[in-house]
Structure 1
Amino acid sequence: MSSFDRIQAAAKRLQGHARVTPLLSSPFLDEIAGRRVLVKAECLQHTGSFKFRGGWAAISALTEADRARGVLAYSSGNHAQGVAAAAKAHGVAAVILMPADAPSLKIKNTRALGAEVVLYDRAAGEDRSAIGQTLAQERGLTLIKPYDEPEVIAGQGTIGLEIASQAKAEGVTAANVLVCCGGGGLTSGVALALEATAPGLQVRPVEPQGFDDVARSLQSGDIQSNAEVSGSICDAILTPAPGALTFPILQRLCGPGLVVTEEEALRAMAMAFLRLKIVIEPGGAVALAAALFHPDEITGEAVITVATGGNVDAELFCQALSRYA
Structure 2
Amino acid sequence: MTLRKRRVKLEDIARKLNISIATVSRALDKNPRVKLSTRDKVFKMAKAMGYMPNQIAKSLSSGKTNIIGVIIPRYDEPFFIEVCRGIDHYAREYDYKILISSSRNSFEFERENLISFEKGLVDGIILSPTHETETFVHIKNIINKGIPVVLFDNIREEVQGADHVSIEDDKASFSAVEFLIKKGKKRIAFIGGIKEKKVFQDRYKGYLKAMQEYNITIYEELILHCDSLDRECEDAEIQKFFNGLSIKPDAVFTCTDNYGLLTMKTLLKLGYKIPEEVSVIGFGDLGLGEVFVPSMTCVAQPSFEMGQKVAELLIDQFNEATDVNHRKKVIKLDTKLVLRDST
Shared fold (TM-score greater than 0.5)? no
TM-score computed with the length of structure 2 as normaliser: 0.33
Instruction: Give the number of the structure with larger relative contact order, counting CA–CA contacts within 8 Å between residues 6 or more apart.
Output: 1
